Structure 1
């Protein structure tokens, strides 16, 4: 990229990263709600003597959670790629540029942990 000496390019990339963070959190939250609502409905309908079975809502909810985790890590990698292409004068001096990708990495790890917990709890 050419030297624009304009921090707006950096901040636009950071806003895009944060919008993907919100999208991934929304996907994971929606997946959790779908999974738990299916469990709630199954609990209401099932007989007391039957073992609790997870239905289609479990797999759909789990898929949304995993999609949210993937939607969090990809943009973090892309943001780091954009930062490598920017000139040093395009990034405000003293600005901590790793906070956004670190948050996305944490969201990814927590999303995968949530998915693992749901799978483990369904097997018990």
Structure 2
């Protein structure tokens, strides 16, 4: 077996190589988080670009920034999550809890709450 690159040795020190299927599953999960972050960022851009006649400027800006920040945080967290899971698998340790889930859930709930309040007040 070929030795790992210096970067791999630095990022993934010690332990043993996990089954490639688990490493590839971890990578697919990472890519799913990245797709979600891209969707959030696209939503933030869409809110800012296409909803000028729907939302007041302040609400539009808050929603767009919230979606963009969620996307950015999710993207960065996905990399950290992938690395932590990979390290845990190499050490045969329990997998870390995903910080991404509550952040995404609460962030999505916050954006949705703003939208619900806006829709409720707009119809009055």
What TM-score, normalized to structure 1? 0.53
CA contact (8 A) 2:18 2:89 kept: no
Give distance in 1, aligned partners of 2:85 and 2:58.
Answer: 42
RMSD over equivalenced CA pairs, Å: 2.5
1:29 to 42, 45, 56: 42
Q: Which runs of 5+ in 2 are unaligned?
A: 1-14, 92-124
CA contact (8 A) 2:16 2:90 kept: yes
CA contact (8 A) 1:13 1:82 kept: yes
Greater RCO (CA < 8 Å, at least 6 residues apart): 1
Q: Which runs of 5+ in 1 are unaligned?
A: 43-52, 89-124
What TM-score, normalized to structure 2? 0.53
CA contact (8 A) 1:38 1:55 kept: no
Instruction: Give the CA deviation at 1:6.
Output: 2.0
